[in-house]
Structure 1
Amino acid sequence: MEKNSFHACATCVNFNTQKRKDGMYYFCSRLGYETKPDYQFNCWTPKEQVVRLMEKRKGENLG
């Protein structure tokens, strides 16, 4: 299986951030717990702009 360089929590529609006094807090609204921008889970659903970029890069690689 080909590795997807876009696959990370930060590119998922369920990735959320909160700025707190002690720093940034990253969490997944789908899974319901804290995560990190570069973590990967199988439930990944890319944001629309990420889907467009993946399609663009796929087209560049084909032709």
Structure 2
Amino acid sequence: MNSKFDKLKGKIKEATGKLVDNDELEAKGQQEQDQAKAKEDAKHHAEGKTQEKREEIQRDAIDEDETKEL
């Protein structure tokens, strides 16, 4: 599921828990927000690693082309 949606759902649960004085619901909402944040962080980390790998492949290809020209 979309992490932004999960975050919003968690915020709603947390706010509802505060409103009705339900510590368990409030904690569940906070937990869902934390999990959504962790998913976002993992996704961004993976995207960064993918970009690094692309750049490495491009550098290697350029180096190979330069070596062939010599």
TM exceeds 0.5?
no
Compute the TM-score of the two structures, normalised by the length of structure 2. 0.33
Which structure has greater strand proportion?
A: 1
Q: Give the number of the structure whose alpha-carbon radius of gyration is greater.
A: 2
Q: TM-score when scaled to structure 1?
A: 0.36
Q: Which has the higher contact order (CA 8 A, sep 6+)?
A: 1
More helix by percentage? 2
